[in-house]
Structure formats: structure tokens, C-alpha cells
């Protein structure tokens, strides 16, 4: 925050560091291994009396001088320039912490320069013994430089006890110091062998050329095998968090892990082929190819190693955005724009509509440009954010770095986060806000016939779910279209009774639906005292999207005589809001999740969980891995259940938002339609804030011993409770908010939240619960969950049939719905309002 930003776009995202460092580090390793290779070659030439080999060593030293001293020295300066400009905070930390180490390294580097210059220019003027001593001194100084730099580079990855002690020696001899030193020493030998291939192919004497190439082959092949072993030791020696990041948590790292093995095997094969007596021209071409492949081997490993310290430049100290971790709490409170000394003056006093674009652009340079370019080769930002509108981008920034720890968290205030989201979504990608699904006007429907004087039966019905959301197409099945229609038939009498024997109850969807032939019968459940049928009613009429299709129920006796009819609004919707964050249009006019959206979701799942769902042929069934009681999918203890996984992950990205910015983004329109909505209730009043809801679901999975549930749970902070321990665990669809939490003894509510008081099991759910006589279901009189009477015009079709008013059946003394006469005591439950 104290240093100016080198504003780069196309060639940003660490491009210059990656380019210069890759070349310099490769040459630096060659300088170490090549120094040993050079002096051993000279020694072999003297020992064998081979003038051709001595001539090769002399020519090789000139090439060596130009590459390691000239190019290596210039590229080393270039590294210091680029890191100072692109990562000043990390650079100054390394200088302050290791000033003695840097000084010692520069002394060794000076020794390298002096020794190599003397070595090159004294081939003819110095005694053999003294000349070789100078060569050995060059190698020693080079290896000591590697020793010193290794400690500092390793500190950035694994600072170890330095985080507590701030000791030079704890930071230098860090947990990865020794395996890294061994790995780099062996790789230095590989570099010497690879470069030796290229130069050895130019030796005129065939016997000497073949002997030297085979020597280089031995250096390369044995060196690569040693690199494999020491590389495994290197990764295994890393502390758990870094090891987990490399081995398990990033699909990009897994790709480079594959490249490491591919390049390694290719280098081995190339080295072995060069050891065979091949034509000279072919040997030179193959040597160049093997050299490039060897660079790929080293580059892929360096990427893997670098991934181990993400999202930091210096682990647990300086983020990749050059923001010091210890400063984050203050920056989140005060804002980074007010704290950054080089922020544009017009944004330092706050973000307005006039300066929001300037603020967003600066925030991108401050927090994103270290890793992401704009239309450039390094982690191009528009490609990675193309699916997000402003809301989706803001959600992504909210959860960034919390679940997938590869990226640092967004640091700053919510207003700054939104400014950055607008800059990326609007200015860089040109995205307009995603339009919400339209809530269609639901027309009233004529009630079924009923006569208080003459009708012998009352047929009541309700649905088990307040809204049957579903998502299913030819690419996936998240939730199949499904709701459960439940019904009871009552013979009207001063002492009415339920009727179940020798009767059938059929259902038929209204005729203007796309599929008007959806009919069937409800089966009687003796254990529950009700008829029911699971139906999949599509929400599409001939007029368009219709989430409340009307179903007509008909009760008949054994002879086929109609006993009673009733109408019921059966809620069903595929208007889920996945496209808000995962792009794509509606699958059809105003509803449905399109295949493009599903593909984006599966790709995100793959990236975060190292799966391959996007490449799956056929339909991806989410319940293949995740339990879901509503779909009768049980028995998989390896993954969190579907509700816990979805709400847990999305809570991380939607934290801090109210119901409108979380629940209704995913479940828009027509969800809550009854009395509770009329008095101002929203989803979170019963189910809890998105974070608390997720915690309750994940705690049950942790108790069940599900791997991964605890990792998600650890990323969440409760909103309405003091701690996670205060939130009671629950299973989705089985433990829901209990009505009696608010309506104690069925009285008017004494509290405004039912969160954290769950029903004990499926029989206690509102849609399955029965009255004090264990006869009539709550839903029979009060309607479907989320649509408690009075509700919308279509939901009210049943109470209008029996009472000509939109109230719970029997309200205001209308007991004649079933009893044929008024009653003077609350038989079903207290507080029925019989007056």
C-alpha cells in the first residue's frame, strides 16, 4: 500500500517476472552444474591426453562465459528491476530480513565472476593444476550462491518458525531448505548435461563427440531420476497447507503435474537416444529439442512449487497483491482507497457514481493485476470472468480466496468490492445486469362446486412443498420436477369421519397446460391417514410460464360415482437463478436453466473439486455423489448432501447479504405466497441467514463424518448467533423450522424468527403433521407450506370453494365445512378462533 503500482494491462499478470525469471533461473542452475561439468571435462581431457576434449572444454568455457556471466548477469538485474516494480512489498521484506544473506550471495557472485574470467583468459598462461583450482573455486562460489539463494527462495514458500520468531536463521533454514537444495543441485547437473548436448554435437572428432554426448546423457538421465526423487521429497516436506494446495486443491496444478512427468520422461528418452550413435546433424537437432523439453520439465516444477505458496508472495505474510496480511482488518474497515498512498485523489474520500470507474480501474491494478492481464497471455481476466454480470462478479469477489485458497481474498469495503465488480463486468466485459425472471400474473380460477346444505363430502388437498423447484435437461439433473399432492376425504356430519375404504381420488392438470393429459390417482397411506401421489407437473401453459398450475381432484366410490371434487394450485418452477452468476440465457421464454449455464456450473465444479464433470458423456446426476432426501438418494457418506454442499458453498460467496441478495437470487418469484409474506416475513426469518442456514446443514454432515464438510464449515461465520456451537444441526427436508416455535400453543406469534428450532423428523413437518385428534392434517385446513391461507388468488381456490373467503378452513367459526353445524370448542387445536 506504500508503493506506486506499475500499471500493466496486456503484458501484466506477472508476465515479465515469469519470462525473465524462467530464463534467468534456468541459466543460474546451468552456471552451477556447468561449472562442475567444465572442470571435470578439463580434468578428463588431461587424464586421457585427448586434445579434442581439451579443445571442447576451452570452447565450452567461452560459451559458458557469455551465457552465465553476460546473459545471466543482465537477466539477474532485470529480475531485481521487475520484482521491485511489480512486487515491492515482498522485495523490501526480503531485503530487510535477509540483508546479510544477500550480501553474502553478492560476495559469492563476485567470486564467480572473478574466477570465471580468470579461468577463461588463462588457458595458455596458467599451470594446469592452478587453472583447475580456479575452476573448482568457480564451481564452489556458484554452488554457495545457490545455497544462499535457496534459503531465501525457500523462505518465501515455507517460512516455518520465522512467522513466530522473526529469526534470520529460522527463515533461512526453513522446512523446505534441504530438499530444495538437493533438488536444485541435481537439476543443475541436468542443465549441464542438456547444454552439453548442444555444444558436444559440434566436436569434430567422432569418437570424442560420441564419448562426450554419452557423458552428457549420463548427467541428464541420472540427474532427471534424482530430480524425480528429490522433487518428491521436496513436495512431501512442505507443511500440510502447502502440500494440500499442490497435491489436492488446484486442477491447474494437476495439469502442470502431468506436464512435469511428461517432460521428465521425454527428457529421459531424449537423453538415452542421444547416447546412441546418431548422425551428427540429427544429434544437434535432437539436442536442441531435448534442451527445450528440459526447460519444460523445470518450468512445470517451478509452477507447481510456486502454487504451494498461493495466495501469498511470502507465505502467510504478504499476499500476491503485495498487501500485508496483518494490515487486512484495518483495510477492510477503512478501505484500501483511503489507505493506498498512490490512489487517485478523486477516489480517496469515497466512491461516487462519478468516480466509480476510476476507483474500479485502480482497484483492479492494486488487487488483480499482479496475476491477471487484460487481453494478454497471463491469466487473462476477461476470459475468466466472462460469465459474470455485476451481481455475479460481486458474489465471486465476496468468496474469493475463502474456499479455493489459490487466490487471495478481496480486501476492502463492500463499496470498493462493488466498484471492482462493476469495472470488470461492465467496463472490461461489457455485461449488462442479468434480468430477473418475470413473475407472471396469476389469474383467479373458478372454485369447484360445493353446497353447504347438500354436499355429503369434503375433499381437501395440499402439497408437500411450497414450491417445487427443479432443474433438469439433457446435460444434468440437479432436481427433477416433482411435488407431492396430499389429500383427505371427509364425510360431513356433526361428527365427521375420514373416508379411505372403497374410494379413489384422481387428479388431472388443467387443460391449458402444455401437457393437459397429466392424470393419475392418489394412493392411500394408512400409516399417515392420507392419500398422496408424487407428480411432475411442468410449469408451462399455452400462454407461457405458469408456476401455479391448477389440478382438479375427484373422489369416487367403488361404483365410479363422484363423491366430491376440489381444485388445488400445485406449485412448480424451473425458474432457478443459476444464470445470475453462471451466465447463459433462460432455456425458454423466461424460465429453465440452459445447457450453457449448466456447462459453466460443471466447469466451476471441476475447477474447485478436481472433477471431470464437464467432459461427462450423458446426463450428470448430482445425486450420484451427493445424498438428497427429497430425491430418496441416501447412502453416500463420502460427500456432503446436496443441500449442504450447495448452500455451504454459495453461503461463502453470498455472505453478508439479506434474503433479497441471497435466497431470492436463486429461488425467485412465487416461493413465499401466503400469510407470512403478507405480514412482511422473508425466507431468512424461518430458515436463517444464508451463512447460518449453511452452518446448520454442514454441522449435521460433520457429525455424520462426511469428509469435506468441515472444510466448508470452517470458512463460514455465523450472522445471528454468537458462534457456530449455538446453531443446531439439521438434515435437509427432514428437519425444518417448527411452526410452534413462533405459535406457542397455537397462539399469535411471540417471536419473529423460527430459526434454529427444527422439527424432529419427517412426521413433524408442517405438510405431514396432524391435529390434536391425530385425524386431520395441518395442510388440509391451512394450505401448502409457504402458501398459508390467505395466499394468492390461485392458491386460495380451495378455501373459496368451501367458505367463500380466503382463510384457513374452519376459521371464523366456519366449522360447517366438515361438521354441518357450528362447533363451540377447538377440537383440532387450541386457538382456532371459533367465535
The number of helices, as runs of H, and strands, as runs of E, in the chain is: 31, 19
Query: What's the CA gap between 820 and 815, in Å, rounded?
Result: 7
Evaluate the omega torsion of the peptide bond into residue 790 and state whether it is cis, within 30 degrees of 0. Answer: yes
Confidence band, pLDDT 50/70/90 cuts, at residue 270: confident
Final residue in a domain of this structure, among 765, 781, 812? 765
Q: Which of 2-6, 129-133, 484-488, 718-722 has the lowest mean pLDDT?
A: 2-6
Range of the domain at 409: 325-378+385-428
**Which residue carries 536444485 as its cell?**
184
Residue of 459, 445, 458 whose CA lies nearest to 506: 459
Confidence band, pLDDT 50/70/90 cuts, at residue 748: confident
Residues 118 and 27 placed together within one structural domain of the fold: yes
Compute the average pLDDT of residues 663-676. 87
Residues 46 and 185 placed together within one structural domain of the fold: yes
Residue 140 lies in a domain: yes
Interacting residues of 667 by C-beta distance below 8 A, sequence separation 6+: 467, 469, 576, 577, 683
Confidence band, pLDDT 50/70/90 cuts, at residue 835: very low
Interacting residues of 55 by C-beta distance below 8 A, sequence separation 6+: none
Residues 290 and 402 placed together within one structural domain of the fold: no
Q: Which tops the pLDDT comparison, 550 or 260?
A: 550
pLDDT value at 565 more than 70: yes
Confidence band, pLDDT 50/70/90 cuts, at residue 649: very high
* pLDDT given at position 628: 96
Which of 16-25, 197-206, 736-745, 784-793 reaches the highest mean pLDDT? 784-793
Q: Which of 161-165, 176-180, 670-674 has the lowest mean pLDDT?
A: 670-674
Interacting residues of 433 by C-beta distance below 8 A, sequence separation 6+: 389, 390, 391
Q: What is the pLDDT of residues 358-393, one digit of tens each?
A: 999 999 999 999 999 999 998 999 999 998 999 999
Residues 200 and 236 placed together within one structural domain of the fold: yes
Are 160 and 171 within 8 A, CB to CB? yes
* pLDDT given at position 159: 95
Determine phi and psi for 633, rounding to 5 degrees. -105, 105
Are 721 and 729 within 8 A, CB to CB? no
Q: Which helix (H) or strand (E) holds 313?
A: strand 312-314
Q: How far is CA 483 from the centre of its chain?
A: 31
Residues 130 and 43 placed together within one structural domain of the fold: yes
Q: State the DSSP string of 657-699.
A: --GGGTHHHHS-SSSS-SHHHHTT--HHHHH--HHHHHHHHHH
Confidence band, pLDDT 50/70/90 cuts, at residue 834: low
Q: What is the pLDDT of residues 427-479, one digit of tens each?
A: 999 988 887 777 777 778 999 999 999 999 999 999 999 999 999 999 999 99
CA dihedral sign of residues 354, 358, 363, 368: positive
Final residue in a domain of this structure, among 258, 291, 314? 314
Interacting residues of 505 by C-beta distance below 8 A, sequence separation 6+: 459, 487, 489, 521, 522, 531, 553, 554, 555, 556
**Which residue carries 442479468 as its cell?**
434
Determine phi and psi for 819, rounding to 5 degrees. -90, -10
Q: What is the dihedral of CA 553, 556, 562, 565, to 10 degrees?
A: -20
* pLDDT given at position 23: 86
Residue 584 lies in a domain: no
Residues 202 and 344 placed together within one structural domain of the fold: no
Degrees to nearest 5, angle at CA 347 with 343 and 349: 110
Residues 292 and 336 placed together within one structural domain of the fold: no
Q: What is the pLDDT of residues 170-212, one digit of tens each?
A: 999 999 999 999 999 999 999 999 888 888 878 888 899 889 9
Confidence band, pLDDT 50/70/90 cuts, at residue 569: very high
- Give the CA radius of gyration of the chain: 36
Residue 606 lies in a domain: no
Are 108 and 141 within 8 A, CB to CB? yes
* pLDDT given at position 280: 62
* pLDDT given at position 674: 92
Kindly list the distances between the CA atom of residue 228 and the CA atoms of 33, 232, 308, in Å, as whole numbers in the listed order: 17, 6, 18
Residues 364 and 252 placed together within one structural domain of the fold: no
591: helix, strand or coil: strand
Beta bridge partners of 758: 737
Query: The C-alpha cell of 131 is what?
Result: 587453472
Query: What's the CA gap between 274 and 531, in Å, rounded?
Result: 80
3-state SS track over 115-184: HHHHHHHCCCCCCHHHHHHHHHHHHHHHHHHHHHHHHHHHHHHCCCCHHHHCCHHHHHCCCCHHHHHHHH
Number of Cβ within 10 Å of residue 362's Cβ equals 24
First to last CA, the chain: 70
Q: What is the dihedral of CA 344, 345, 348, 351, to 10 degrees?
A: -80
Q: How far is CA 611 from the centre of its chain?
A: 12
Q: What is the percent of the chain with per-residue pLDDT over 70, rounded to a whole number?
A: 98
* pLDDT given at position 671: 86
* pLDDT given at position 250: 56
Q: Which tops the pLDDT comparison, 247 or 144?
A: 144
Residue 389 lies in a domain: yes
Confidence band, pLDDT 50/70/90 cuts, at residue 295: confident
Pairing type for strands 572-573 and 476-479 reads unpaired
Compute the average pLDDT of residues 272-298. 78
Confidence band, pLDDT 50/70/90 cuts, at residue 165: very high
Residues 684 and 710 placed together within one structural domain of the fold: yes
For the chain, the average pLDDT equals 91
Residue 220 lies in a domain: yes
Q: Is 790 exposed, middle or buried (0-12, 13-18, 19+ CB in 10 A)?
A: buried
Residue 491 lies in a domain: no
CATH number for 391: 1.10.760
What angle, 0 to 180 degrees and rounded to 10, lies between the N-to-C axes of helices 99-121 and 128-157?
Answer: 150
Compute the average pLDDT of residues 55-82. 90
Compute the average pLDDT of residues 772-797. 94
Residue 502 lies in a domain: no
Compute the average pLDDT of residues 72-82. 90
Are 695 and 724 within 8 A, CB to CB? yes
Query: The C-alpha cell of 758 is what?
Result: 427444527
* pLDDT given at position 252: 62
Residues 298 and 331 placed together within one structural domain of the fold: no
What angle, 0 to 180 degrees and rounded to 10, lies between the N-to-C axes of helices 99-121 and 51-64?
Answer: 140
Burial 239-278 (b: 16+ CB within 10 A, else e): beebeebbbebbeebbebbebbeebbebbbebbeebbeeb
Compute the average pLDDT of residues 621-628. 95
Are 385 and 425 within 8 A, CB to CB? yes
Beta bridge partners of 312: 319
Query: What's the CA gap between 414 and 584, in Å, rounded?
Result: 26
Kindly list the distances between the CA atom of residue 740 and the CA atoms of 467, 750, 755, in Å, as whole numbers in the listed order: 22, 10, 12
Q: What is the pLDDT of residues 481-507, one digit of tens each?
A: 999 999 999 999 999 999 999 999 999
Residues 159 and 234 placed together within one structural domain of the fold: yes
Are 570 and 535 within 8 A, CB to CB? yes
* pLDDT given at position 695: 98
Residues 341 and 201 placed together within one structural domain of the fold: no
Q: How many domains does the chain have?
A: 3
Enter the pTM of the model. Answer: 0.87
| Beta strand residue intervals within 570-720, DSSP E | 572-573, 586-588, 591-593, 620-621
319: helix, strand or coil: strand
Confidence band, pLDDT 50/70/90 cuts, at residue 833: low
* pLDDT given at position 248: 62
* pLDDT given at position 373: 94
Query: What's the CA gap between 624 and 704, in Å, rounded?
Result: 18
Residue 277 lies in a domain: yes
Query: What's the CA gap between 702 and 151, in Å, rounded?
Result: 40
Are 712 and 648 within 8 A, CB to CB? yes
382: helix, strand or coil: helix
* pLDDT given at position 463: 97
Interacting residues of 255 by C-beta distance below 8 A, sequence separation 6+: none
Final residue in a domain of this structure, among 369, 393, 428? 428
Are 596 and 582 within 8 A, CB to CB? no
Query: What's the CA gap between 679 and 331, in Å, rounded?
Result: 40
Query: What's the CA gap between 173 and 478, in Å, rounded?
Result: 51
Amino acid at each position: 500500500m506504500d508503493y506506486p503500482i506499475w500499471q500493466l494491462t496486456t503484458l501484466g499478470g506477472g508476465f515479465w517476472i515469469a519470462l525473465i525469471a524462467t530464463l534467468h533461473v534456468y541459466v543460474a542452475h546451468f552456471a552451477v552444474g556447468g561449472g562442475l561439468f567444465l572442470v571435470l571435462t578439463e580434468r578428463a581431457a588431461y587424464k586421457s591426453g585427448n586434445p579434442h576434449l581439451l579443445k571442447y572444454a576451452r570452447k565450452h568455457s567461452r560459451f559458458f562465459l557469455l551465457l552465465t556471466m553476460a546473459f545471466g548477469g543482465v537477466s539477474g538485474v532485470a529480475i531485481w528491476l521487475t520484482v521491485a516494480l511489480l512486487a515491492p512489498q515482498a522485495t523490501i521484506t526480503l531485503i530487510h530480513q535477509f540483508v546479510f544473506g544477500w550480501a553474502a550471495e553478492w560476495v559469492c557472485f563476485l567470486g564467480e565472476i572473478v574466477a570465471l574470467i580468470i579461468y577463461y583468459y588463462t588457458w595458455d598462461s596458467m599451470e594446469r593444476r592452478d587453472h583447475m583450482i580456479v575452476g573448482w573455486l568457480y564451481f564452489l562460489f556458484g554452488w554457495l550462491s545457490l545455497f544462499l539463494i535457496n534459503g531465501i527462495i525457500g523462505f518465501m514458500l515455507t517460512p516455518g518458525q520465522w512467522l513466530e520468531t522473526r529469526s534470520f536463521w529460522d527463515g533461512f533454514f526453513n522446512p523446505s531448505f534441504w530438499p530444495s537444495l538437493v533438488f536444485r543441485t541435481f537439476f543443475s547437473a541436468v542443465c549441464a548435461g542438456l547444454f552439453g548436448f548442444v555444444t558436444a554435437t559440434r566436436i569434430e572428432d567422432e569418437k570424442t563427440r560420441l564419448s562426450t554426448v554419452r557423458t552428457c546423457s549420463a548427467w541428464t538421465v541420472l540427474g532427471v531420476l534424482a530430480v524425480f526423487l528429490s522433487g518428491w521429497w521436496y513436495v512431501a516436506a512442505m507443511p500440510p497447507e502447502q502440500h494440500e494446495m499442490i497435491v489436492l486443491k488446484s486442477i491447474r496444478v494437476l495439469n502442470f503435474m502431468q506436464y512435469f512427468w511428461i517432460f521428465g520422461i521425454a527428457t529421459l528418452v531424449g537423453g538415452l537416444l542421444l547416447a546412441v550413435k546418431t548422425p551428427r546433424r540429427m544429434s544437434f537437432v535432437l539436442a536442441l529439442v531435448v534442451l527445450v523439453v528440459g526447460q519444460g520439465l523445470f518450468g512445470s516444477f517451478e509452477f507447481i512449487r510456486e502454487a504451494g505458496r498461493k495466495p501469498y508472495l511470502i507465505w502467510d505474510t504478504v499476499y500476491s497483491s503485495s498487501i500485508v496480511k496483518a494490515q487486512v482488518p484495518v483495510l477492510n474497515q477503512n478501505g484500501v482507497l483511503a489507505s493506498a498512498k498512490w490512489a487517485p485523489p478523486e477516489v480517496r474520500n469515497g466512491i461516487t457514481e462519478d468516480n466509480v470507474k476510476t476507483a474500479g480501474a485502480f482497484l483492479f491494478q492494486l488487487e488483480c493485476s499482479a496475476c491477471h492481464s487484460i487481453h494478454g497471455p497471463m491469466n487473462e481476466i476477461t476470459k475468466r470472468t466472462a460469465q459474470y454480470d455485476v451481481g455475479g462478479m460481486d458474489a465471486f469477489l465476496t468468496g474469493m480466496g475463502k474456499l479455493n485458497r489459490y487466490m487471495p481474498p478481496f480486501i476492502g469495503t463492500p463499496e470498493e468490492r462493488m466498484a471492482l465488480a462493476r469495472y470488470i463486468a461492465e467496463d472490461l466485459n461489457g455485461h449488462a445486469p442479468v434480468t430477473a425472471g418475470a413473475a407472471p400474473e396469476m389469474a383467479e380460477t373458478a372454485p369447484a362446486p360445493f353446497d353447504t346444505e347438500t354436499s355429503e363430502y369434503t375433499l381437501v388437498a395440499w402439497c408437500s412443498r411450497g414450491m417445487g423447484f427443479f432443474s433438469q435437461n439433457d446435460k444434468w439433473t440437479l432436481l427433477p420436477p416433482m411435488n407431492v399432492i396430499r389429500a383427505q376425504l371427509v364425510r360431513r356430519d356433526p361428527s365427521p369421519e375420514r373416508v379411505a375404504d372403497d374410494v379413489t381420488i384422481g387428479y388431472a392438470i388443467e387443460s391449458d397446460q402444455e401437457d393437459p393429459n397429466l392424470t393419475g390417482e392418489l394412493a392411500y397411506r394408512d400409516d399417515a391417514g392420507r392419500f398422496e401421489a408424487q407428480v411432475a407437473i411442468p410449469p408451462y401453459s399455452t400462454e407461457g410460464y405458469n408456476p401455479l398450475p391448477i389440478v382438479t381432484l375427484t373422489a369416487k366410490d367403488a361404483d365410479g360415482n363422484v363423491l366430491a371434487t376440489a381444485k388445488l394450485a400445485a406449485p412448480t418452477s424451473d425458474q432457478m437463478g443459476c444464470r445470475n452468476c453462471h451466465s447463459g440465457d433462460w432455456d425458454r421464454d423466461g424460465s429453465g436453466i440452459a445447457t450453457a449455464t449448466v456447462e459453466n456450473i460443471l466447469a466451476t465444479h471441476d475447477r474447485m473439486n478436481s472433477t471431470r464433470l464437464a467432459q461427462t458423456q450423458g446426463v450428470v446426476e448430482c445425486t450420484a455423489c451427493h445424498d438428497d432426501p427429497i430425491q430418496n438418494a441416501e447412502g453416500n457418506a463420502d460427500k456432503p448432501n446436496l443441500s449442504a454442499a450447495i448452500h455451504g458453498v454459495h453461503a461463502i460467496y453470498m455472505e453478508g447479504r439479506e434474503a433479497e441478495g441471497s435466497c431470492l437470487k436463486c429461488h425467485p418469484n412465487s416461493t413465499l405466497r401466503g400469510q407470512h409474506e403478507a405480514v412482511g416475513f422473508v425466507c431468512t426469518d424461518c430458515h436463517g441467514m444464508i451463512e447460518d442456514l449453511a452452518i446448520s446443514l454442514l454441522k449435521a454432515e460433520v457429525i455424520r463424518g462426511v469428509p469435506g464438510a468441515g472444510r466448508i464449515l470452517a470458512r463460514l461465520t455465523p450472522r445471528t448467533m454468537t458462534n457456530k456451537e449455538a446453531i443446531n444441526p439439521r438434515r435437509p427436508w427432514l428437519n425444518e423450522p417448527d411452526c410452534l416455535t413462533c405459535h406457542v400453543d397455537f397462539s399469535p406469534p411471540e417471536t419473529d424468527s423460527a430459526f434454529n428450532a427444527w422439527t424432529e423428523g419427517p412426521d413433524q413437518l408442517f405438510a405431514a403433521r396432524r391435529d390434536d385428534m391425530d385425524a386431520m392434517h395441518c395442510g388440509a385446513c391451512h394450505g401448502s407450506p409457504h402458501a398459508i391461507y390467505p395466499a394468492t388468488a390461485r392458491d386460495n381456490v380451495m378455501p373459496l370453494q368451501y367458505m367463500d373467503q380466503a382463510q384457513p378452513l374452519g376459521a371464523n367459526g366456519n366449522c360447517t365445512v366438515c361438521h354441518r353445524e357450528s362447533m363451540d370448542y377447538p377440537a383440532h387445536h387450541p386457538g382456532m378462533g371459533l367465535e
